[in-house]
Amino acid sequence: MSVLFATHAAFLDHLTGRGHPERPERLQAVLDGAARVEVAPWLVPVEPRPATANELQRVHPKAHLDMMRDLATHGGGRLDPDTVASAGSWHAAEMAAGACLSAVEALQRGAGSAAFCAVRPPGHHATRDQAMGFCLVSNVAVAAASLVAQGERVVIVDYDAHHGNGTQAVFYDDPRVLYISLHQWPLYPGTGSVREVGDHDGVGTTLNIPLPPGTTGDVYLRAVGEVVLPVVQRFAPTWLIISAGFDGHAADPITDLALSAGDYAVITQRLMTLVPAGRRLVVLEGGYDLEALRLCTAAVLGALADRTLLPEPLTSGGPGAGAVEAVRAFWYEHGLW
């Protein structure tokens, strides 16, 4: 099963400053993971194009996009306490969103069974009109909005350790997009309560599964099997997009979850069953330990190619089972099943 792989040198030009966790070395670690001999033969490169103004404006207002572009044009600056733009950041952001669109277009041509976009800056914290949490443009939301405009129904599964408040906000009242997040709680940005289930026509199309520090892979798989699968089956998506943050790995320096690279492979394999081959897009979000990034990238690419690269035992024994049951109970109690 061939896996499309989209990346671009422009992503290295997004410079965040000394000591910032979201640094160019992250991309090189991902590329190193993709270059492993067990993975590389199955990858088909995709040359990204920049997202157009119209494509970006499906998600972000023109004035907000203009502000970020102008800031980069004048050398960069700070967009919020954690989020920095440099002279190369706007082009990187255009290309990051465009890489996701390019991968979707290649999948629609039948070029591969799945696609992985190795992009930065990440996107899932970016709201319609606020860059935050290291994120400028909501890359996944731009791709999902493009698919929705073509009549598709999209499920987004976000397994970054941080809740994707930006992606959630973009589609909170949209019944055509099901947003699901498994994330550490409590943690930045403080959103992602089980009570956040959507609004207006979108009620029941946001599913949050907040998990305690120390949660292991067995709990993630239980959440997928007992909560995610029933909700997705009811929604009946035609496309799957995974916001693949690898900061839930036990080695990550800024979170407290306890996943392994092998766990990410198994979780991804389970999620791939949600839609047919050729309709699966994986987009890099967080992950700040370089070796964990290498291992997780290789593991997930192996899963997408239907190859097992890391025969690690599923991590188990951590907390979190009660949190999964609480989510199930809440959805039953409120008639959301």
SS3 string, 209-259, reads EEECCCCCHHHHHHHHHHHHHHHHHHHCCCEEEEEECCCCECCCCCCCCCE
What domain range includes position 286?
3-333
What are the C-alpha distances in Å from 90 to residues 72, 157, 170?
Answer: 6, 26, 21
Under the banding of pLDDT at 50, 70 and 90, the label for residue 310 is low
Q: What is the mean pLDDT of residues 158-179?
A: 98
pLDDT of residue 313: 82
Q: And the tokens for 332?
A: 């039953």
Here the contacts of 183-187 (C-beta below 8 Å, separation 24 or greater) are 183/158, 183/159, 183/208, 183/209, 183/210, 183/211, 184/210, 184/211, 184/212, 184/213, 184/215, 184/248, 184/255, 184/256, 184/257, 185/210, 185/211, 185/212, 185/323, 187/161, 187/162, 187/163, 187/255, 187/256
Q: Is 140 within 8 Å of 124 (Cβ atoms)?
A: yes
As annotated, the active-site residues are 125
Q: Cα–Cα–Cα angle for 168, 182, 279, nearest 5°? A: 70
CA dist., res. 273 & res. 229, Å (int): 9
- Asked if 287 and 293 touch (Cβ cutoff 8 Å), the reply is yes
**From CA 278, how far away is CA 282, in angstroms rounded?**
12
Q: Tell me what the pLDDT averaged over the chain comes to.
A: 97
Name the packing angle between helices 89-108 and 139-149 (round to 10°).
40
Q: What is the pTM of this model?
A: 0.98
CA 323 to each of CA 189, 220, 222, 332: distance values in angstroms, whole numbers, following the listed order: 19, 11, 11, 14
Q: What percent of the chain has pLDDT over 70?
A: 99
Mean per-residue pLDDT for 188-204? 98
pLDDT at 215 over 90: yes
101 in Cβ contact with 123 (< 8 Å): no
Q: What is the pLDDT of residue 311?
A: 65
CA–CA gap between residue 243 and residue 180 (Å, rounded): 10
The 3-state DSSP class for residue 11 equals helix
Taking residue 149's Cβ as centre, other Cβ atoms within 10 Å add up to 12
3-class secondary-structure state, position 77: strand
Q: What's the average model confidence in pLDDT over 258-285?
A: 97
As given in the structure block, the two tokens for residue 166 are 């930006």
Is the bond preceding 186 in cis, omega lying within 30 degrees of 0? yes
- For the chain, the domain total comes to 1
CATH number of the domain encompassing residue 248: 3.40.800.20
Q: What pLDDT sits at residue 15?
A: 98
User: What's residue 307's pLDDT?
Assistant: 82
Stretch 176-191: mean pLDDT, rounded? 98
| Amino acid (1-letter code) at residue 205 | T
**Whole-number Cα distances in Å, 64 to 139, 142, 252, 294, 300:** 15, 15, 32, 34, 34
Amino acid letter, 315: T
Q: What is the pLDDT of residue 1?
A: 75
Q: How many CA atoms lie within 13 A of 250 on its CB side?
A: 14
Q: Which of 115, 152, 167, 138 is nearest to 280 (CA)?
A: 115
pLDDT confidence bin for 89, thresholds 50/70/90: very high
pLDDT value of residue 37: 75
89, amino acid identity: S
When pLDDT is cut at 50, 70 and 90, the band that residue 39 belongs to is confident
